[in-house]
Amino acid sequence: MCGLDKFVVDLAACEYSCRRWQMSGLPCPHAISCITFKGLDLESFVDDHYKKDAYLRCYQEVIHPLNGPDLWERSQYDDVMPPPYRKPSHRPVKMRKRGLGDDDNRSQTHLSRRGQTQRCSNCGAQGHKKSGCTKPKKKVSSIPFCYSVQVGLYLLVLHNVPYFFVSVTDPTCILASCQGSKKRY
C-alpha cells in the first residue's frame, strides 16, 4: 500500500501493479519488501539483462576501433554550429520548468496562500500588510509583568533567554520591562 493506493505484487510472474518492475526489470521497493518478507533470494527476481552473463555475452565479440575525426571524409557543406547565444532581456528564471511527470503540488508540507486575502496586523483591515499600512502604527505597550521571587538567587528567563540575575532577601514583586532596550524576546 502506498498512501491510499493499493498495489498487488505477483512474485511468481514478477509483476507489480504499478508496472515499475515490468518496465525496468528491477524490483521496486514494494516488491523488495515483499520478497524479503517471504525470505526469498532477491537476486533471482532481477531481470537477466542486469546479470554478469548478459554483460559478457554482449561484449564477447571483438569491437573494431573506428578512425578519429581527423581521418573522416570532408563534406562540401559547412560544419554544423550551435545557434548564436542571445542574452534574454528579462530576469533569469530561478526554478526549473516542470515536466509532465512532476507533481503539481510544489510542497507536501506547506499550504498555498492562493485565494486568501491579506490582513493587516496594524489596523486589521483586509487587502494590505503591516508594511503597506497608511494608518499610524500602533505603539506596543510594554506592560511590566509581576514575578514573585522567593528568598535566594534566581535567574529570570524569558523564552529561554537569560534576562537578568536577581538576589532578593524578602519576597516582593519584581517589575521587569524592556525599558531602554529595543530588543524583544
Q: pLDDT by residue (tens digit) across 105-131?
A: 566 677 777 778 888 988 889 889 888
What is the rounded CA–CA span in Å between residue 182 and residue 185? 10
**pLDDT attached to residue 171:** 42
Nearest to 158 by CA among 167, 145, 148: 145
**pLDDT attached to residue 163:** 46
**pLDDT attached to residue 104:** 62
Q: Where are the domains of the chain?
A: 9-58, 145-176
What parts of the chain have a pLDDT lower than 70? 1-5, 14-16, 103-108, 140-185
28-37 residue pLDDT tens: 777 788 888 8
